[in-house]
Structure 1
Amino acid sequence: MESGSVTTPFGRRPMTLGMLASQVNSQKIEAGASTDKWKIYRALCEAKPLLDISDRALTVLNALLSFYPKSELAAGENLVVFPSNAQLSLRCHGMAEQTIRRHMAALVAAGLVIRKDSPNGKRYARKTRNGEINDAYGFSLAPLLARAAEIERLAAKVAADRLYVQTLKERLTLTRRDISKLVHAAISEELPGDWQAFNGRFHDILNQLPRAAAPHAIASTLHLLETLRDEILKRLELQIKTQTLSGNDSQNERHIQITESESNLDSEASVETNVPELTAVNSPLANSVNVSGTELTRYATGTNAASTIFPLSLVLQACPEVRNYGPAGTVGSWQDLIAAGTVVSSMLQISPSAYKSAYRVMGPQIASAVLACILERAGTINSAGGYLRDLTRRAQRGEFAIGSMLLALARAREHDAPH
């Protein structure tokens, strides 16, 4: 431990009770106490918001620590360093001496170092004949050792507060994203409800949050947003239950209608009788697809109608993957293909509204064939539901024909097949 005498500042600098308190506390270091000087410095850097010290002041403290020859500050050692202002300036990366003095005063005021001024105000050390320092005048680092436990506790509090704020901000970001996407999904799916009002409430809550918000303001905003998200989720869950019940009813109704006209769907030949002969031998659709081992000789040309019915064998040849989703793992009739389409739409996460709209506009056979094509190309389609909606809108305008889609898939499989 250093000498127990109290030191007063040289020259015009006044003595304060804070300086006296720092000196008294630094004399209460327990015997055998020690701390790594760079460990305590890192803790100071962490705790600086609570100690009210600046980065520049910490730079000066770093330079002071570099003049202490040992790695640990220990009780019973002389903890005074005595560099000149010129030497401090070099180790502070050229900081002006006037600036160094200002930040040194801040360190003294914060109780992190103590001035131990000589009679003439110079910094120096007196050594014994053996070369050991007997007494030194400069800046004492004893407060760092005396306050080591306090500084580490403050650093831990700052780190915990920072983690708490970071967690709040992460939850806030996730909740904002959830609300935005859920409302957008409800609007795009045209679900009943005043979703614009939810969107307005969402933005009103966000607008009340300042750019540099305190933790309590972030927590309050997060609570409001989580409450809003829970309300939106309840509305959407209710819509899902309603649509599920409605979808089951409409699906049962479709099965009844299909059963009544089963004789027209179970036979591929009966569908093909409605397909006119090719009008041109060199049509781009002719001589390109084998149906049941023979060339396709009858196909509709010269039309963009989405409702043209094609041979079931052509659909299965172009889209063989759909067979796995039919009843008993196979598709042997149009009725099987329609049943497979119901499974495929659910698997591809196509919304019930998009599914029903396609069946209403295109008819069950064509819509099921379109779903089979989408399944075949699922790896290259980002949003199956959005793609189906786009095809449905084009079909309504008479701008979509499934023939080109089927023939393209069939040709691709024929090209990829081993010769």
Structure 2
Amino acid sequence: MQTKTVTTPFGRRPMSLALVKSQLDTKGCPARHPICKWRVFRDICEARETLRLHDRTLAVLDALLSFYPEPELSCERNLVVFPSNAQLSLRAHGIAGTTLRRHLAALVEAGIVHRQDSPNGKRYAHRDETGSIEKAFGFSLEPLIAHAAEFARMAQQVADERRLFRLTKESLTICRRDVRKLISMAVEEGADGDWEAIEGQYIALVARLGRSPARHEMAIVLGELEMLREEIVNRLEIQSKIRKTDGSDGQSGRHIQNSNPESVNELEPGPEPEPEVIPQTTPKRMAEPLATFPLRMVLRACPQFADYGPGGLISNWREMIAAAVLVRSMLGVSPSAYQEACEIMGAENAATVIACILERTTSINSAGGYLRYLSRRATRGEFSLGPMLMALIRARPYRADERPEPGRTPCATR
């Protein structure tokens, strides 16, 4: 068992008040029951961010613990390990000497281990006649016993924070899904309300979340999204009650109106065939599919659209369609309007129309209304993408420096 005194480092390594305090705190710690060294090590690994320890620093600590022969740390035994840097490097997976010394200093600074330096700075031990260690110089593992409870508490706090983070993230994902689908349903069902403004609130809230938000940031956004979801549900509940009341009052009258006239028209043919009329209850479909133009031509006509692809490039239709979803939200086009365009024109052509609208955004007052107008024209067979694309290409022909490289789909540099 080592004498508990404050020791100073060898050579030019400085002494600090923090090191003195760390050694005094360990000195004042009463003897405890033996503690599993690997349990303490796992707690330190769990709390490494709190302790500001690098993963390679933990590898060095793992190597140090491997030189302690017993599985449990006890104040009744020698707690100083004295491996050479070469031995430590081998057990730390071949870490370089300068890197090893840096991580050893980090362990000492964090109060994980203490230095017990010899007069010449070497690490060795004195043994008695029986071979037992009388005094050793190296690194003392006594702080692991003194602060074992503190390390365990830090590890538990980290585990609790991770669990809360996971629960908050799950709740946020569910709430985002609820709000998104409720807005889409309300627009598609024609519910009363300024749903574009509500969608704008939703987009603004989601935009506040960065790529890696902290838990408290997610919690704040989650609270506001839950309030928005409650407001949407209340509006839909009120409208549902109103519609139910109106349906009960006028059910018989509507039944009489919908009975005889339609049956007469269906059973009695007219003198001439009537033009085909698409019923209101049937989804709008085109008689003939809309022609799809080459992606290269679309990107030449709409060069701004490439900025919204991955890395500012669009090389295939999948990236084109993914960029259209982003631009649709930016232009304020409702999900129902874009979904209707996809059903009528096809996903590729709907993405092309979004790209054209982006190119002409300064001359279009309502992108969503314009997209619905084009969808209705396409349903009647009165719309083609060709003239729109050619008009944009004529307004902006190729320049010499915009010629595409051989073998590469151009993304129309601006």
Residue in 1 that maps onto 2:142: 142
Per-residue deviation, residues 208-238 of structure 1 (Å, max 9, x unmatched): 2333333322222111111111111111111
Residue in 1 that maps onto 2:52: 52
Residue in 2 that maps onto 1:156: 156
Asked if the contact 2:32–2:74 (Cα under 8 Å) also holds between the matched residues in 1, the reply is yes
Letter in 2 for 1:182: L
Deviation at 1:306, TM superposition (A): 9.2
Asked if the contact 1:46–1:158 (Cα under 8 Å) also holds between the matched residues in 2, the reply is yes
**Partner SS, residue 209 of structure 2:** coil
Deviation at 1:101, TM superposition (A): 0.4
1 CA distance for matches of 2:265 and 2:224? Answer: 59
Structure of larger gyration radius? 1
1 CA distance for matches of 2:226 and 2:169? Answer: 13
Structure 1 residues 251 and 84: CA distance shift in structure 2, 3 A: same
Structure 1 residues 121 and 233: CA distance shift in structure 2, 3 A: same
Structure 1 residues 273 and 22: CA distance shift in structure 2, 3 A: closer
1 CA distance for matches of 2:61 and 2:266? Answer: 91
Residue in 2 that maps onto 1:118: 118
Deviation at 1:8, TM superposition (A): 1.3
Letter in 2 for 1:113: V
Residue in 2 that maps onto 1:96: 96
Letter in 2 for 1:94: G
Deviation at 1:271, TM superposition (A): 13
2 CA distance for matches of 1:206 and 1:157? Answer: 28
2 CA distance for matches of 1:272 and 1:96? Answer: 89
**Partner SS, residue 135 of structure 1:** strand
Structure 1 residues 246 and 28: CA distance shift in structure 2, 3 A: same
Residue in 1 that maps onto 2:208: 208
Residue in 1 that maps onto 2:72: 72
Deviation at 1:76, TM superposition (A): 1.3
Residue in 2 that maps onto 1:38: 38
Asked if the contact 1:115–1:140 (Cα under 8 Å) also holds between the matched residues in 2, the reply is yes
Letter in 1 for 2:139: F
Structure 1 residues 176 and 135: CA distance shift in structure 2, 3 A: same
2 CA distance for matches of 1:273 and 1:221? Answer: 59
Asked if the contact 2:2–2:135 (Cα under 8 Å) also holds between the matched residues in 1, the reply is no
Deviation at 1:51, TM superposition (A): 1.4
1 CA distance for matches of 2:244 and 2:231? Answer: 20
Paired-residue identity, %: 48
Alignment of 1:178-257 (within 5 A): 178-256=178-256
Structure 1 residue runs of 5 or longer lacking an equivalent are 276-301, 308-353, 360-385, 398-419
**Partner SS, residue 136 of structure 1:** strand
Deviation at 1:100, TM superposition (A): 0.6
Letter in 1 for 2:16: T
**Partner SS, residue 25 of structure 2:** helix
Per-residue deviation, residues 22-59 of structure 1 (Å, max 9, x unmatched): 22222234334221111111110111222122111111
Deviation at 1:243, TM superposition (A): 2.1
Asked if the contact 2:5–2:27 (Cα under 8 Å) also holds between the matched residues in 1, the reply is no
Residue in 2 that maps onto 1:316: none
Deviation at 1:189, TM superposition (A): 1.4
Deviation at 1:84, TM superposition (A): 0.7
Residue in 2 that maps onto 1:350: none
Residue in 2 that maps onto 1:314: none
TM-score (norm 1): 0.61
Deviation at 1:256, TM superposition (A): 4.6
Residue in 1 that maps onto 2:129: 129
Structure 1 residues 253 and 358: CA distance shift in structure 2, 3 A: farther
Per-residue deviation, residues 320-342 of structure 1 (Å, max 9, x unmatched): xxxxxxxxxxxxxxxxxxxxxxx
Residue in 2 that maps onto 1:370: none
Per-residue deviation, residues 80-103 of structure 1 (Å, max 9, x unmatched): 111111111111111101101001
2 CA distance for matches of 1:73 and 1:233? Answer: 60
Alignment of 1:327-338 (within 5 A): none
**Partner SS, residue 134 of structure 1:** strand
**Partner SS, residue 65 of structure 2:** helix
Residue in 1 that maps onto 2:105: 105
Residue in 1 that maps onto 2:63: 63
**Bigger mean CA offset, 212-221 vs 5-14:** 212-221
Residue in 2 that maps onto 1:174: 174
Asked if the contact 1:29–1:75 (Cα under 8 Å) also holds between the matched residues in 2, the reply is no
Deviation at 1:258, TM superposition (A): 7.6
Letter in 1 for 2:182: L
**Partner SS, residue 11 of structure 1:** coil
Asked if the contact 1:2–1:27 (Cα under 8 Å) also holds between the matched residues in 2, the reply is no
Deviation at 1:117, TM superposition (A): 0.7
1 CA distance for matches of 2:194 and 2:267? Answer: 50
Deviation at 1:246, TM superposition (A): 2.9
Residue in 2 that maps onto 1:10: 10
Letter in 2 for 1:166: R
Residue 25 (structure 1) aligned with residue 25 (structure 2)? yes
Structure 1 residues 272 and 85: CA distance shift in structure 2, 3 A: closer
Letter in 1 for 2:212: A
**Partner SS, residue 14 of structure 2:** coil
Deviation at 1:120, TM superposition (A): 1.2
